[in-house]
């Protein structure tokens, strides 16, 4: 299971150098502005902006393409089914199936928005170490409980994943067939899940004691490690303008502000 999403965080690009707090705000503004877009001309502009940002980020194309392998088959199914089910204007008939214009447009809108938002998200989390991004979220006001849980869960995800892998290998070596359905197999898989939970619980007790020894809960709140330069503010302003431009463009190209609510 490929977990590393920051394997290219060491590269050097304007987005790698950008203050992570400004980057979070700027990229999220663009992501939410993209989700407003319905008009086909604005969809084209969205693709251009996404490709431009991706080129500037210097991330290899293979990075995003490899990330596209996992996204849900659900979306693929939706995009394939909608043109045959949604709408009334029949463009052409393929045997018993009618290809409908409204469904085609809806599928195009969904697929384009999905791909652009996904790509921007990949750049956001791919151009800084994940821990730095979490610290930036904390600096922007994420509650301490959530930030601590995020950091700890991320820290132990790989190890617990390793435990599962080892236990599944041991089961296989003892002759367990993971493809055969039976009540016994269900019970064994439930025990596997239960064992992972018990191991993690026991590990959490040692972790808590180790954290206490390191002053958890008593250490002074660390000062923010982030420094905002004027270039960071300028880049953020550009991103906010782009985001506002897409919202305004959708209002102008669509049917007024009501288009945003569709």
Partner 1 sequence: MHIPDGILPVPVTAAGYAATAAVTWYSVRKINQQENPRREIPKASLLTAAFFVVSWIHIPVPPTSVHLVLNGLLGAMLGYFAFPAILIGLFFQAVMFQHGGLTTLGVNAMIMGFPAIIAYYIFRLRELGNKQSVRKTAIFGFLAGAVAIVLSVVMFVVILINFLPADLDIATERAAIYTLAIAHLPIMAIEGVITSLVAVFLQRVRPELLESV
The partner residues of 98 in beta bridges, in order of sequence, read: 93
Position among 56, 97, 191, 228 found at the interface with partner 1 (CB under 8 A): 191
Shortest distance in whole angstroms from residue 229 CB to partner 1: 26
Position among 99, 131, 150, 253 found at the interface with partner 1 (CB under 8 A): 150
The rounded distance, in Å, linking the Cα atoms of 232 and 235 is: 5
Binding mask 130-149 for partner 1 (x = CB under 8 A): x------------x-xx-xx
Q: Does residue number 60 form part of the binding site for partner 1 (CB under 8 A)?
A: no
Contacts 24+ apart (CB under 8 A), 1-6: 1/161, 2/66, 3/157, 3/158, 3/161, 5/67, 5/122, 5/125, 5/126, 5/130, 6/125, 6/126, 6/128, 6/129, 6/130
Shortest distance in whole angstroms from residue 225 CB to partner 1: 21
Q: Does residue number 156 form part of the binding site for partner 1 (CB under 8 A)?
A: yes
Binding mask 31-50 for partner 1 (x = CB under 8 A): xx--xx-x------------
* Binding window for partner 1 (CB under 8 A); candidates: 48-56, 90-98, 158-166, 227-235: 158-166
Shortest distance in whole angstroms from residue 138 CB to partner 1: 13
Q: Does residue number 125 form part of the binding site for partner 1 (CB under 8 A)?
A: yes
Q: Does residue number 187 form part of the binding site for partner 1 (CB under 8 A)?
A: yes
Contact residues for 171 (Cβ-Cβ < 8 A; gap 6+): 178, 188, 192
Q: Does residue number 7 form part of the binding site for partner 1 (CB under 8 A)?
A: no
* Binding window for partner 1 (CB under 8 A); candidates: 9-17, 49-57, 207-215, 225-233: 207-215
Residues in 232-251 at the binding interface with partner 1, rule: CB under 8 A? none
Nearer to partner 1, 216 or 248 (CB): 216
Phi/psi region, residue 87 (left: phi>0; alpha: psi -120 to 50; beta: rest), is left
Q: Does residue number 214 form part of the binding site for partner 1 (CB under 8 A)?
A: no
């Amino acid at each position: 299971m490929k977990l590393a999403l920051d394997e290219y965080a060491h590269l050097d690009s304007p987005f790698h150098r950008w203050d992570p707090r400004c980057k979070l705000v700027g990229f999220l503004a663009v992501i939410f502005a993209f989700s407003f877009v319905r008009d086909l001309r604005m969809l084209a502009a969205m693709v251009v902006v996404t490709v431009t940002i991706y080129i500037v980020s210097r991330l290899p194309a293979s990075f995003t393409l490899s990330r596209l392998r996992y996204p849900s088959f659900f979306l693929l199914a939706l995009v394939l089914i909608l043109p045959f089910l949604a709408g009334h204007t029949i463009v052409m008939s393929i045997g018993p199936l009618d290809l409908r214009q409204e469904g085609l447009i809806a599928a195009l809108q969904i697929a384009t928005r999905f791909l652009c938002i996904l790509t921007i998200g990949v750049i956001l989390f791919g151009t800084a170490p994940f821990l730095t991004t979490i610290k930036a979220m904390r600096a922007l006001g994420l509650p301490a409980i959530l930030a601590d849980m995020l950091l700890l869960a991320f820290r132990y995800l790989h190890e617990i994943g390793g435990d599962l892998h080892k236990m599944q290998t041991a089961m296989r070596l003892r002759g367990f067939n993971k493809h055969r359905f039976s009540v016994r197999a269900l019970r064994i898989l439930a025990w596997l899940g239960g064992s992972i939970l018990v191991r993690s619980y026991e590990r959490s007790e040692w972790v808590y004691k180790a954290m206490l020894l390191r002053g958890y809960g008593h250490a002074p709140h660390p000062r923010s490690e982030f420094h905002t330069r004027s270039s960071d503010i300028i880049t953020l302003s550009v991103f906010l303008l782009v985001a506002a431009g897409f919202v305004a463009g959708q209002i102008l190209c669509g049917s007024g502000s009501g288009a945003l609510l569709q």
